[in-house]
């Protein structure tokens, strides 16, 4: 089988395509023939050795995929050969076949396409966990989404609207903001052209923001945090800007703010039943047409440098997919 392989840490140019033996499913595992794999920004960090997940070399990037079960290992229950499944892992899906624990699979409804299923589990799974399990966002509350045009940002816009929030999308260009508007954003803020804190205060008045969803970090985090109202919640999703912000604790104290860490991978391991329910809910919403999962582009396995380059340069508007159907 063909596999995208990271044999040394670095950038996309340091990866290669290798021919490897097909894996054999072990106890509790399924052999999945991958049709579409999805790449995320964190894949660019994993291959550089700058992410909290540090696989042993060599490994394949890719944390999510859609494929078909080809075989089952001893004791693997709940799935059958021929089932179309959504796969979620920390890494390893950018290859034609993978052996994966069945607990990391979800059956895909017929109405959900391969592309949607491939890009649903991590970005939307992270976001549903953040907004519902952590922030407990309520209908009518105001949600600010930083970096609202990327895969995780658009997921936050869509799910925020689905959960009844007023969504303020924040991004770095008018073009990116229009994409967020097309996915349901109520208000738009261009934080390159405007002062983020002042714009959020203008849009929310004395009440302030209820929830900030921050996958960017860097210089945007503190002004967004300062725009929170009484008992506002700040969701720490990631640090696409590269810099991990440091917050003034006096502001957090005076406003009664909750700064909430969102570590979806730990949630998956520690609360598997809640995670399974979230995945089922996402697939049901996708089948009903309530989630779109915007695709930035679909690339062949051989075009992996181009695909990862879009993520490195933070140009992605939606999901970046690899087509492994040959």
Pick from 202, 205, 219, 256: which is nearest to 234 by CA? Answer: 256
Choose among 243, 67, 239, 62: nearest CA to 150. Answer: 239
Q: By percentage, how much of the chain surpasses pLDDT 70? A: 100
Helix (H) or strand (E) holding 122: helix 121-128
The Cα 197–Cα 104 span in angstroms is 40
What pLDDT score was predicted for residue 12? 96
Could you state, in chain order, the average pLDDT of each consecutive group of 10 residues for the chain (326 residues)? 97 97 97 97 94 93 97 97 96 98 96 95 95 98 94 93 98 92 96 94 95 94 96 92 86 95 93 94 96 91 96 86 93
CA dist., res. 120 & res. 125, Å (int): 7
Q: Is the pTM of this model over 0.85?
A: yes
């Amino acid at each position: 089988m063909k596999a995208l392989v990271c044999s040394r840490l670095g950038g996309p140019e340091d990866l290669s395509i290798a021919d490897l033996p097909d894996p054999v499913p072990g106890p509790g595992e399924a052999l999945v023939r991958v049709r579409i794999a999805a790449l995320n920004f964190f894949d660019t960090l994993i291959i550089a050795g700058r992410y909290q997940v540090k696989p042993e070399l060599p490994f394949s990037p890719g944390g999510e995929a859609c494929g078909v079960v080809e075989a089952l290992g001893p004791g693997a229950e709940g799935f059958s050969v021929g089932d179309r499944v959504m796969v979620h892992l920390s890494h390893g899906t950018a290859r034609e076949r993978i052996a994966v624990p069945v607990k990391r699979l979800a059956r895909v409804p017929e109405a959900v396409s391969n592309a949607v299923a491939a890009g649903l589990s991590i970005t939307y799974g992270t976001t549903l966990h953040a907004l519902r399990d952590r922030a407990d966002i309520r209908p009518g509350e105001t949600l600010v989404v930083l970096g609202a045009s990327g895969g995780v940002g658009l997921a936050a816009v869509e799910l925020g609207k689905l959960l009844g929030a007023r969504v303020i999308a924040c991004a770095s260009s008018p073009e990116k903001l229009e994409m967020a508007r097309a996915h349901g954003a109520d208000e738009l803020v261009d934080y390159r052209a405007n002062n983020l804190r002042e714009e959020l205060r203008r849009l929310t008045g004395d009440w302030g923001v209820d929830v900030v969803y921050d996958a960017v970090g860097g210089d945007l985090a503190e002004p967004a945090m300062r725009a929170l109202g009484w008992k506002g919640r700040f969701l720490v999703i990631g640090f696409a800007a590269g810099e991990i912000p440091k917050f003034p604790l006096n502001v957090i104290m005076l406003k009664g703010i909750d700064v909430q860490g969102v570590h979806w991978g730990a949630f998956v391991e520690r609360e598997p039943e809640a995670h399974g329910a979230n995945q089922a809910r996402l697939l049901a919403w996708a089948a009903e047409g309530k989630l779109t999962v915007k695709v930035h582009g679909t690339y062949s396995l051989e075009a992996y440098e181009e695909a990862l380059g879009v993520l490195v340069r933070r140009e992605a508007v939606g999901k970046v997919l690899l087509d492994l159907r040959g």
